[in-house]
Structure 1
Amino acid sequence: MLTTFSVQTTYKFIYSRITLSILLSISPMLYAQQVPCNPSCSDISGGYVNESSHGGVLTIDNVQLSGVGPYNNSTIMLGTPESPYSGNIEFKANNLIIDAQSTYQVDANAINLGSATRNSTTTADISNSSITFKSLGNTNSNYHVVGIVMDGHTAGQTVNFNLKNTDINVSSDNNVFLTAGIWTSTYATKESNIILDNTNLKIESNSGAAHGIGIGNTKTGMDILSITTIQDISPGTITVKGNTAAYGITVDSLGKSTYIDNKSDISVETTSSDSKAYGINTLTQENIINTQAQTIKVKGGNIAYGINTQGTGNQSIANSAAITVESSNQATGILTQSTSTTGNVSISTVGDITVKGSGNTYGISATSQGNTTIDVASKIDASNATGTGIYSNTTTGTNNITLHAGSNIIGGRSANSAGIAIQSTSGNQQLLLEQGSQLSSLNDLALSSQSSTGNTEINNNGQITGYATLMGNNVVFNNQSAGVIDLKNFGSGSKGDIIYNVGSSNGVFNNAGLIKFADKNFDDTATKAVFNVATFNNSGIIDLTGKNPNGTNDLVGDTFTINGNYVSNGGSIYLNTLLDDASSNNGQGTSDLIIVNGNVTTSSGATNLYITPTASTANLGQLTTGNGIKVVEVQGTSSSDAFQLGRPVVAGAYEYTLGQGQNDDSWYLSSYYKGNTGGNGIIQYNPAIGAYLANQTAAVQMFQQTLFDRLISSSDGKNNDASKSLFWMRTKMTHGSYDSVHGQLNNRNRSYSLQMGGDLNVWALDDGGYFHLGMMAGYGDAKNTNKSDSTGTKTDGKVKGYTTGVYGTYFANQDTNLGLYVDLWSQMGWYRNEISGEAQQGTKKYNSTVWSNSVELGYGIPLTESGDYQWLATPQAQFTYNHYDADNQHDKNNLSITNNNASGLDTRLGIRFHARGIQKDLIEPFLEVNWLDTTAKNELDFNGKSYKDGFAKDRLEAKIGLQGNINKQWSVSAQMGGQWGNNSFSNYQGQLNVNYKF
């Protein structure tokens, strides 16, 4: 028989029986029970009737219950605590407010849903309600205080709790064993389903254990499937504070499976030093945990776990909450164990995990006899003294760990800490770090693995800071193209030296990414790294320079040792080197060093060595002695094409090249061409020397001119009239080459200039001559490339400048082509210079000036007439003094430039042949031949030693061109020419002139 009873009242205290409508305000307790009621109901006389043969429904709407009850143990009770119902029980409450306290000496509950027999169902639907319950009088440590309880006395019940928009606040004082918000079954339930929708639980106990939600199923020997489901529809909160223990959600059951889908924030704390605290704790055979909360915070005295699952079946955890766990001893963010070979473990987290404890602490700890899969896309911080970010141990199953982009695993600083520690008895192990992931530990042990017979494979596309100890017979470490291994973390607990163990005997390390050192050790000493591996294959980068943020590399002497064979597949190695005379360190020099205690072979290309000269080092850039400076030490044999320089190495005035020693297979840097030559070899000079010298020469030569570079001497059929004022413009381009610096550098150069000017006045003189006074200005730029003949290294020089000046010209005759002329000019030039190149550390910029003064004399002589032309010859002599000035310089390659010496007298002696029209305007050819000489030394001091430019002191010049009049005012000319001299000097030029006479 099913009886339904409804209560709708605003009375605070109500005592009622299902068949009666009498309302009695006698206590803060409501008993609702199904009873067999005859018409007289004579058996109802008070208390409750113990009847267990039926089920029932109780509906409560808009009821408030409050007060203190000294006698009864439940504010609302369905059925009796002594015997179960055989039927189904359904409790419905809306807008129910309970604010009750109990001084009862045994179990005390806000709502007790009684118990039901096997295969029956108990359902509670509570919405828009508030339940506050506090026990004041418990003195028996074996009893419980619960907000909502379903206490089963037999096995096989189904329990359904649906709570929406409801708050449950339960607290207890004195000697209470257990305090809980929601608790079901002390025996065996068939199925427990708890659904929370925007529901908040706050549980506090001053004595025993405290639970937010607890599912108990401790009956042994049952043949009934036990399934537990706890699900959040929308977020709420679960706050638990206990003394000896505290649990946010716990399922302690011998049943089959548990499924928890939690969206509520969980906060758990204990007050006793010898206590334990769990955010979520499940102990069924199979456990599935899905957390979508914002936070899970756990603080325990002795043991604290964020999420803990244990069972014989599959264990699955998917976490998106930020988990924070703190304990004075052991602390673990996620702990899971599967104790059967048929049980697998799966853990994934996108929520950050932070653990703190003085004992062993783990971000994630997984133990399985089957397969284990761990996926991390968040930060796991176990950086306390004994912390390990991820620990995974399998027996026969496989270990698969993946760190996704954005993950960051940090281990602690003690000797037992690690970023990740994985173990397997006979199963395979695989760790994958995706691009954007990070792995480190404050003690530098980023990764530890042990495998007896299985295979271990590490694939790194992220960043690993620290070293790895990978024990086993079949170990392969792949540092892939995006992978970074930073060998030192340099925390206070880190090692002085780094030892990378890759396999017991046949390990393989494949480097396609980056392996790097920091600038210096935490104690300001060099770093030593040792790779114990059978084969080291390199196609990536090994960087020992540090590249600190200040851009300096003061520390030299780091070593990278491979206790095995090195196979070059291209790749690069970066080293700091003291570029001195190599007399230090037993004649081997001082450098970061690659040591191969096996053989070196080449598979698919040479390894490029990139050398960075150490900064702030005295006498940097010296000629080497012996084999030179050792950079790669080979104990076995080395193929001759295993290493090459990735970029030129220059310091001071010299360039250094790489080669093997005369009597060993090691590799050295030498300032001599072809290595050790006993001091009689060809010195390799820094090509920047040639560029500085060429810039100096280019500035001096840029705006040099003659009278006929300004004046077009074409005839109008009679003469070239000196009485007319002149505006002129010329543009010139040159291209040349020569050998420089003891013939070891080849200079190729080109220049462009544009110059214009005009007469300010023309005076007719008493002797029949004319004097022109004018002003001029110009702009030009020049470029040069200096290449080492022995190494092919190039350095570029650039010069940009402008000039202003004045000129004055005397013509003895009105016909400018005949008789004497004297041309004077003076100009000042300002120049911006640059030095750059593949061997230069940055671009060097500096300023210079040139003040030039010139006197030119010539005499036009008619020779003969032929047809329409008259041929003239004009002997010429010109003397130009150039004063060059530039500040001393010091570039980043430790090259000091002082004592500039490009000032001197230029002399030109030559003759000009010119054919002009006799009676009419004609196109007129001309030819010039000159001898050029300079007294300028064109030299500079580099690091205290003088070097000369290869610009020829004596040169032969020839020019040929055409000129003519466009009309009576405008005339144009075009010419080509060349210069030749010693040091393979050659220079070719083209010029275009325009004159306007007025």
Structure 2
Amino acid sequence: DDSSRTDHLTITGSSAGQSNISLTNIGGLGAQTINGIEVVSVGGDSGAAFTLSRPAVVGAWEYTLNKKSNGNWYLESRASTPDEPVTPDTPVTPDVPVVPDTPVVPDTPVDPDAPDEPVAPEVMAPEVGAYLGNYLVAQDMFLHKRDDRDQLTLRNGEDLNTWMYVKGRYHDNDIAGGKVNYDTTQFVMQVGSDFISKQMDQGVLHAGMMFGAGQAKTDATARYNTRSAQGKVDGVNVGLYATWQEDPALRTGSYIDTWTAFSWYHNTVNGDKRSSESYDSNGFAASLEMGHAWVVASENERTWKIEPQIQAIYSYLDQENHKDADGVRISTLDNDSVLGRVGVKSSYFDQKDVQAWQPYVAVNWLKGAGQNDIAFNGETFSNDTPDDRAQLELGVTGKLNETTLISLIASGEWGENSYDAYGGHILLNHRW
């Protein structure tokens, strides 16, 4: 802030030419400025142009070097070009009064007040968006529901399922009311296979193991800042799953699905004209999902299958606190969260050929935004992900041959704060 102590250049005479100024943070936490931190004073004519040799970032704020009307140079966490003040209207001179018997002296026109000095907007560092983008994508990279990995039909108590899916997702988000914006693109591949399939007194229980790998990239910008920053997350995971299905041949009746997984991530942040940063994180997640499907009675070959679903996911992410090359301390405030989903899936179902191509639509209410707070030198910022979101999913499933099915899925999410996210998903299931 304005009271920060700093080295100071005093020029008793006039200044001219161009020069760079290099700044090193010796432990300041960073804060918004009001009048700025004076670093150069000029006694005479201030004709020199001073520029920073590299970005000055402390905490979440970026400081620019600006010359004020007194000719001195100040560090400010504000943009250097605020909007121009509005010039007041020229005062209207009153008409000359008509001289009556007793002339009335008109009031002296009142000059309008001078326009207020414009307040420049605050400037944040785009790296804030890159760190938050990395943090969020590491939490949900491998989260999924049963239908994401298993759409297999026409299976009996002894059939095993080997599967693979590839999915992509894009979302755009804001931080601090739009001061920082970032968009994240991620791609994930996960493979798995049953190692147990057991016929129960009622229904079939099958369980298996899964492995995954994913990568996400974040591009971040800050309002009134010409720099940008990029984040990247590379992750791997391993987990176990188990599903009980009342009728595995038609995928009707009730089902219970659960999975648990461990994940490991390597994260990087690269800001324009700043040092590259890297740090690690690891996570754990567990899911419990239930649903019940029934077929709408119809004499036609095709009819609707309706399936309400509910799911809860516990997510834990341990991200090491990080100190960057400029001394900014990036720390997380919490490690765990619970995410919820309630929805209904409707499939256009062929009663005679359960492996025939069947389109479906699913509508979900998503509850929970995950851990979305990060502190920069102790000052906390969060993204604008709404806690409640609506999701629409459109898909189609059909057989490639008698033992292999393919599913193609597209989805979108919407919520407050102009939030939106879009994804695509390809799933292969092989029965053996």
Q: Give TM-score scaled by structure 2 length.
A: 0.84
For residues 414-563 of structure 1, the aligned pairs below 5 Å read: none
d(CA) in 1 for partners of 2:409, 2:254: 24
- The 5 Å alignment of 1:591-602 reads 591=8, 597=14
What residue in structure 1 maps to residue 161 of structure 2? 726
The within-5 A match list for 1:696-715 is 696-713=135-152
User: Alpha-carbon deviation of 1:918?
Assistant: 2.6
Q: CA deviation at 1:813?
A: 1.9
1:987 aligns with 2:421: yes
For residues 822 and 891 of structure 1, what CA distance do their matches in structure 2 show? 45
In structure 1, distance between residues paired with 2:424 and 2:377: 38
What are the superposed Cα offsets for residues 560-597 of structure 1, whole Å, 9 maximum, x if unpaired?
Answer: xxxxxxxxxxxxxxxxxxxxx34368xxx535578871
CA contact (8 A) 1:951 1:983 kept: yes
Distance 2:341 2:8 in 1: 53
Match 1:760 to one of 180, 195, 211? 195
Cα drift, residue 613 of structure 1:
2.6
Deviation of the 1:610 alpha carbon: 5.3
* Cα gap change, 1:679 to 1:760, in 2 (>3 Å): farther
| Aligned: 1:659 with 2:92 | no
Cα gap change, 1:789/1:875 in structure 2, threshold over 3 Å: closer, same or farther? same
The aligned counterpart of 2:76 is 670
| Cα drift, residue 631 of structure 1 | 4.5
Q: Distance in 2 between matches of 1:925 and 1:637?
A: 72
Question: How far apart are the structure 2 equivalents of 1:632 and 1:926?
Answer: 70
CA distance in 1, matches of 2:41, 2:409: 58
Letter in 1 for 2:220: N
Deviations 1:183-217 (A, max 9, x none): xxxxxxxxxxxxxxxxxxxxxxxxxxxxxxxxxxx
Whether contact under 8 Å (2:194, 2:209) holds in the other structure is yes
Do the aligned partners of 2:138 and 2:265 also contact (CA within 8 Å) in 1? yes
Partner of 1:576: none
Q: Structure 1: how far apart are the matches of 2:38 and 2:255?
A: 64
* Superposition map of 1:855-934 within 5 A: 855-863=288-296, 865=298, 868-920=301-353, 921-934=355-368
Aligned to 1:813: 247
Paired residues of 1:779 and 1:801 also in contact (CA < 8 A) = yes
| Equivalent residue for 1:741, pick from 163, 176, 200 | 176
Partner of 1:683: 122
How many percent of aligned residue pairs carry the same amino acid? 28
Return the alpha-carbon distance in structure 1 between the equivalents of residues 328 and 406 of structure 2. 47
Give the drift of 1:726.
0.3
2: CA distance, partners of 1:675 / 1:764: 72
Q: Secondary structure at the match of 1:700?
A: helix
- In structure 1, the partner of 2:3 is 583
1:979 counterpart letter in structure 2: E
1:960 Cα deviation after fit: 0.8
SS in 1 for 2:130: helix
What is the aligned length? Answer: 398
The one-letter amino acid paired with 2:28 is: N
Quick check: 2:61–2:77 contact (8 Å CA) kept in 1? yes
Q: Secondary structure at the match of 1:590?
A: coil
Residue 773 of structure 1: aligned partner: 207
SS at match of 1:695: helix
SS in 2 for 1:810: strand
1:812 is paired with a residue whose SS is strand
- Give 1:783 deviation, angstroms: 1.1
Letter in 2 for 1:884: L
Instruction: In structure 1, give the amino acid aligned to 2:24.
Output: T
Q: Deviations over 1:856-875 (max 9, x none)?
A: 01111213548542211111
Q: Deviations over 1:341-367 (max 9, x none)?
A: xxxxxxxxxxxxxxxxxxxxxxxxxxx
Match among 949, 969, 982 for residue 403 of structure 2: 969
* Equivalent residue for 2:30, pick from 594, 607, 621: 621
Kept in 2: contact 1:902–1:936 (CA 8 A): no
Deviations 1:755-801 (A, max 9, x none): 0101011111112x000110001001111122101214212111111
Between the aligned partners of 1:695 and 1:996, the Cα distance in structure 2 is 34
Question: How many Å separate the matches in 2 of 1:993 and 1:596?
Answer: 73
Give the one of 54, 57, 66 matched to 1:650: 57
- Following TM superposition, by how much is the alpha carbon of 1:847 offset from its aligned partner in structure 2, in angstroms? 0.9
Equivalent of 2:280, from 838, 847, 850?
847
Query: Match of 2:178, SS?
Result: coil
Q: Which amino acid aligns with 2:173?
A: Y
1:756–1:777 Cα contact (<8 Å) kept: yes
Alpha-carbon shift at residue 818 of structure 1 (Å): 1.0
Q: Which amino acid aligns with 2:419?
A: F
Between the two structures, name the one with larger relative contact order (CA 8 Å, sep ≥ 6). 2
Q: For residues 494-546 of structure 1, what are the alpha-carbon distances to aligned partners after superposition, in whole Å with 9 as ceiling and x for unaligned?
A: xxxxxxxxxxxxxxxxxxxxxxxxxxxxxxxxxxxxxxxxxxxxxxxxxxxxx
Q: Deviations over 1:284-311 (max 9, x none)?
A: xxxxxxxxxxxxxxxxxxxxxxxxxxxx
Q: 1:612 aligns with which of 10, 16, 22?
A: 22
Amino acid at match of 2:77: S
Task: Report SS of the residue matched to 2:27.
Answer: coil
Q: Which amino acid aligns with 2:134?
A: N
The alpha-carbon distance between structure 1 residues 798 and 925, as it changes in their structure 2 partners (threshold 3 A), is same
Secondary structure at the aligned position of 2:123 is classed as: coil
Within 5 Å, which residues of 2 pair with 1:819-830? Answer: 819-830=253-264
**Helix, strand or coil for the counterpart of 2:361?**
strand
Distance 1:595 1:922 in 2: 87
Distance 1:679 1:853 in 2: 52
Q: Contact 1:629 / 1:670 at 8 angstroms: preserved in 2?
A: no
Checking the alignment, whether the CA contact within 8 Å between 1:628 and 1:675 is kept in structure 2 is: no
Q: For 1:786 and 1:596, how far apart are their aligned partners in 2?
A: 43
1:692 maps to which of 131, 148, 151 = 131
Q: Which runs of 5+ in 1 are unaligned?
A: 1-580, 601-606
Distance 2:273 2:431 in 1: 52
The answer to whether the 8 Å contact 1:732/1:990 transfers is yes
Contact 1:763–1:771 (CA<8 Å) still a contact in 2?
A: yes
AA aligned opposite 2:188: S
Rate the CA distance shift 1:656–1:763 in 2: closer, same or farther, 3 A: same
Task: Give the C-alpha shift of residue 746 in structure 1.
Answer: 0.1
CA distance in 2, matches of 1:633, 1:816: 83
Preserved contact between residue 341 and residue 365 of structure 2 (Cα < 8 Å)? yes
Listed as ranges, the matches of 1:16-95 within 5 Å are none
Check if 1:950 corresponds to 2:357: no
1:624 maps to a residue whose letter is T
> Displacement, 1:655?
0.5
**1:47-196 alignment to 2 at 5 Å?**
none
The separation in 1 between residues aligned to 2:349 and 2:329, in whole angstroms, is 55
Residue segments in structure 2 that go unaligned for 5+ positions in a row? 83-115
Residue matched to 1:112: none
CA distance in 1, matches of 2:126, 2:341: 31
Root-mean-square deviation over aligned CA pairs: 2.8
**Aligned residue for 2:85?**
none
Kept in 2, the 8 Å contact 1:964–1:971? The answer is yes
3-state SS, counterpart of residue 296 of structure 2: strand
* Residue identity opposite 2:58 in structure 1: A
Instruction: Measure, in 2, the Cα distance between the counterparts of 1:945 and 1:748.
Output: 23
